[in-house]
Amino acid sequence: MQLRTEPFVLNIGPVHPSTHGVFRMRVTLDGEVVIDLEPVFGYLHRGVEKLAEERTYTGVVPLTDRLDYVASMSNNLGYVLAVEKLAGITVPERAEYLRIIMTELQRIANHLIAVGSFLNDCGAYFTPFLYMFRERERIVDLFDMVCGQRLLYNYMRPGGVSQDIPDEFMPALRKFLEQMPLFVEEYDRLLKENEILLARTKGVGILPAEMAINISASGPVLRASGVDWDLRKADPYSIYDRFSFDIPTGTNGDCYDRYRVRIEEMKQSLRIINQAVEQLPAGPIRSDVPHLIHPPVGEAYARVEAPKGELGFYLVSDNSIAPYRCHIRAPSLLNLTALREMMIGWKIQDLIVIFGSIDITMGEVDR
């Protein structure tokens, strides 16, 4: 006897604990198996790009905080690099180093959230998640010392950073750098070789290297597929050419590789911060930039390796105090492009795991 099952449509999201915000997937299921998937987004659209046209160049910085709100520092950096390119502003040495320290700390904080919530999606009931939040808390405390904010930092400015680090920052940072490798080891001891985790993530949600390049994926999603592409090496911006670090890559492009790449990237970020702390020069933290910047007519595109991938800011200037046009290339959105291809044929439980392994922030997807 041939058993026939009726496919049915299940809405996952926009309010669902594992969609990391207000993402919605309209999934057609055959029993437990996903046979079709349609991503629906736009629930968090705030029109950041349009709002940027109404603000001064410096006034856009707080808006960029609200794009990828778990990696505000990286967004700040991408935007100020674009403005500096547009207006030809130079940045003092000390500010460059501070920027590197902050963005790399931010990368660790972001990957802690990414890996923690990914393991939570796998079903490890909040233990790894809270372990990682414990360490993220210390990074957030460091940022709090620097700029008085814990989530939306608004720290960088065209031509430098908003304020110098206080006295208590360096001892706290050194202590963190000392302890963090031990914590990373702890995460690995907890679940790295776990049989169930391997069964759930190895070979699941494979994104082949060719497809990853074709959809212009970037960040850990691309590198887990085995493509050695990191803007910090491939197109060095700021002062990344002064540091030695490796680009961890995966081989299969499955969920497990994405998880491992993020853990390895944390270790590399610690290496970069250690070098930056050693080399940190004294001096001014902001070059002499007028309050209202009037860049010459023209356009500029600056891109940084944000924790989630290549974050680009495209600015057009008409010599006024506000950008004529601001476009943001959001890595979260582009990494979602292959969602359907990655998920079809897997079960509904894998769907959650694959989605968690991509690591998106809705603030950046919808802008």
Partner 1 sequence: MTIANLSVDTLSRLQGLAPDWPGGFWWHLLLFTVLIIAFVLIMVIVTIYIERRGIAFFAARVGPNRTGPFGIFQAFADGIKALLKESITPVSADKIAYWLAPAVVFAPVIMVFAVVPFSDGALLADLNIGILFVVAISSISTIGVFMAGWGSSNKYSLLGAMRMVASVISYEIPIILSVAGIVIIVGSLSLNDIVLAQQDIPFILLQPLGFLLLFIGGCAEINRSPFDLMEADSEIVAGFHIEYSGIKFAMFYLGEYGEAVVMSTIITVLFLGGWRGPVLPPWLWFVLKVAFMFFIMVWTRATLPRVRIDQLMAIAWKFLFPLALLNLIITAIQVLVWPDVLPWIVILINFAIAGILILIGSRFYKLGWGRIEV
Total residues contacting partner 1 (rule CB under 8 A)?
A: 41
Question: Which residue in this structure is represented by tokens 């070098």?
Answer: 275
When the beta carbons of 190 and 239 are compared against partner 1, the nearer one is 190
Q: Is 214 exposed, middle or buried (0-12, 13-18, 19+ CB in 10 A)?
A: exposed
Residue list 307-336, contact with partner 1 (CB under 8 A):
none
Residue list 91-110, contact with partner 1 (CB under 8 A):
none
The piece of 92-100, 307-315, 319-327, 340-348 that touches partner 1 (CB under 8 A) is 340-348
Residue 211 found at the interface with partner 1 (CB under 8 A) = no
Residue 194 found at the interface with partner 1 (CB under 8 A) = yes
Q: Considering only residues 40, 199, 292, 297, which one is a binding residue for partner 1 as defined by CB under 8 A?
A: 199
- How far is residue 207 CA from its own chain's centroid? 19
DSSP for 291-341?
A: SS--PPSEEEEEEEEETTEEEEEEEEE-SSSS-SEEEEE-HHHHHTTTHHH
Structure tokens at 202: 């190895």
Residue 263 found at the interface with partner 1 (CB under 8 A) = no
Residue 23 found at the interface with partner 1 (CB under 8 A) = no
Residue 73 found at the interface with partner 1 (CB under 8 A) = no
Phi and psi for 246 in degrees, rounded to 5?
-110, 160
Residue 350 found at the interface with partner 1 (CB under 8 A) = yes
Closest Cα to residue 217, out of 205, 230, 204?
Answer: 230
When the beta carbons of 32 and 210 are compared against partner 1, the nearer one is 32
Cβ 39 vs Cβ 23: under 8 Å: yes
When the beta carbons of 33 and 152 are compared against partner 1, the nearer one is 33
Closest Cα to residue 48, out of 38, 40, 60?
Answer: 60
When the beta carbons of 140 and 316 are compared against partner 1, the nearer one is 140
Q: Is 321 exposed, middle or buried (0-12, 13-18, 19+ CB in 10 A)?
A: middle
Q: Considering only residues 70, 119, 207, 328, which one is a binding residue for partner 1 as defined by CB under 8 A?
A: 119
Shortest gap between Cβ of 42 and partner 1 (angstroms)?
Answer: 23
Q: To which H or E segment does residue 10 belong?
A: strand 8-12
Residue 126 found at the interface with partner 1 (CB under 8 A) = yes
Q: Considering only residues 191, 276, 326, 336, which one is a binding residue for partner 1 as defined by CB under 8 A?
A: 191
SS3 per residue for 50-110: HHHCCCCCHHHHHHHHCCCCCCHHHHHHHHHHHHHHHHCCCCCHHHHHHHHHHHHHHHHHH
Q: Considering only residues 54, 88, 127, 290, which one is a binding residue for partner 1 as defined by CB under 8 A?
A: 127
Query: Per-residue x/- mask for partner 1, residues 2 to 21, rule CB under 8 A?
Result: ------x-x-----xxx---
Residue list 128-147, contact with partner 1 (CB under 8 A):
129-131, 134
Closest Cα to residue 357, out of 258, 264, 215?
Answer: 258
Contact set with partner 1 (CB under 8 A): 8, 10, 16-18, 30, 32-35, 119-127, 129-131, 134, 190-191, 194-197, 199-200, 203-204, 344-350, 352
